[in-house]
Amino acid sequence: MGTTRFIFAGAAVITMLASSAFADDMTGMVTRIDRLNGTISIQQTQKGTIGASSGNAGALQEYKAKDAAMLDAVHAGDRVSYAATETNGTGTLTKLEKQKP
């Protein structure tokens, strides 16, 4: 019985860690908006200074917009802060805010 609880507790911790990778606010630049499919592509900006140079860019991710208003709030080239969750391998934006210049 003790081993079973330990296994379930370990699985819960791993699940929380995996889902928290998308839970934190991230920053990036909108590269493409597809209103027909309800998706936004964002080039994530690197955080910190270790190994970073001004030309380095992070991963390009495509996210489903939680609602259509998100698609109209930004344009390609806008710098944004955002939060996303992942469900069944699909990233969904939960928050999207245009950054001030």
pTM, two decimal places: 0.67
Residue 12 has pLDDT above 90, yes or no: no
Start-to-end C-alpha separation, the chain: 57
Mean pLDDT in residue range 45-70: 74
Which pLDDT score, from 0 to 100, does residue 8 have?
55
At 3, which amino acid appears? Answer: T
Mean pLDDT in residue range 54-61: 70
CA dihedral 37, 38, 40, 41 (to 10 degrees): -20
Which pLDDT score, from 0 to 100, does residue 51 have?
54
Residue 65 has pLDDT above 70, yes or no: yes
Strands annotated E in 1-101: 26-34, 39-44, 60-65, 79-87, 90-98
List, for residues 20-50, the tens digit of each pLDDT value. 444 568 999 999 999 999 999 999 987 665 5
Which pLDDT score, from 0 to 100, does residue 52 have?
52
